[in-house]
Amino acid sequence: MFSFQLLSALSSAAVLVSAAPAGPAPPFGGDECCSTAGAVMNLPANQTQLVSPTTAPLYVAVGVGIQNYTCAASTLKYTSTGAVASLFDISCLDKTSAFATIQTTAFDAWNAAPAGISPNTLGAKFGASTLLGYHYFIPSPSGTGISPKWDFTSTGKNAGNSSAFIVAAKAGDITDPTGNVAVNVDWLTLNNTQGSLASKVFRIDTVNGQPPSSCVAGSADISVKYTAKYFLY
């Protein structure tokens, strides 16, 4: 734990080095407002797909956004075409009772938000007003398909840092262990393929995001609201 003396020494140092970027005082290395040392993922025990690293996460976030789907004419099932989400810092909530259910609190706010409201404006409604960055998809560096990216290059203390992103590839996947597999998107672990923000990303504690189980030929593309916790290591 940081003592108040150390904290005040650090903030004096930040004042002296006045080139320090605007944003929360930087006692913790990352862009997080509080230490992530005690933040642990609550993973189901009966599986080997998602294995928690033994180090503390670099970032702990709640993601608020949409999953996009298109109707595949060959199967009449919706297939994923990517996602877009805003990621809010929840490092300061991790020792509070709000942490366990923050994804549900965030989803309720998001689900109630009128059309046209950006997720960016919602963090303050669920006690997580610091925007860490964005999650979206880019053409895959491999040349085939799309790849998920977590991009902190335009927000907070990382603003202007062109390496503060991670592009990743799925390395593990379990269906929602709470049993709502048709409603909540899978829990995932992904490995870094590009960028220096983190080496691994976990998506857990998902709320909503699944498409309807089938579609009719010619259905329009759809976007389904979701939230999840993201742990970056």
Q: Which residues bind ligand NAG (CB under 6 A)?
A: 44, 46, 66, 68, 81-82, 84, 136-137, 158, 161, 163-164, 171, 177, 179, 191, 196-197, 223
Per-residue buried b or exposed e for 32-64, using 16+ beta carbons within 10 Å of the residue's own CB: bbbbbeebebebeeeeeebebeeeebbbbbbbb
Residue nearest to ligand NAG (CB): 82
Which residues have C-beta within 8 Å of that of residue 219, sequence separation ≥ 6?
Answer: 71
Taking the complex as a whole, how short is the minimal distance between the CB of residue 143 and ligand NAG, in angstroms? Answer: 18
Cα–Cα distances in Å, from 96 out to 75, 86, 91, 129, 169? 45, 22, 10, 16, 32
Taking the complex as a whole, how short is the minimal distance between the CB of residue 52 and ligand NAG, in angstroms? Answer: 11
Owner of token pair 């009128």: 114
191 is written with which tokens?
């490995």
Q: Quote the radius of gyration of the chain (alpha carbons, Å).
A: 18
Residue nearer to ligand NAG on the CB measure, 92 or 132: 132
118/110 Cα distance (integer angstroms)? 9
Taking the complex as a whole, how short is the minimal distance between the CB of residue 171 and ligand NAG, in angstroms? Answer: 4
Taking the complex as a whole, how short is the minimal distance between the CB of residue 9 and ligand NAG, in angstroms? Answer: 21
Residue nearer to ligand NAG on the CB measure, 3 or 54: 54
Residue nearer to ligand NAG on the CB measure, 34 or 66: 66
Taking the complex as a whole, how short is the minimal distance between the CB of residue 112 and ligand NAG, in angstroms? Answer: 18
Residue nearer to ligand NAG on the CB measure, 1 or 22: 22
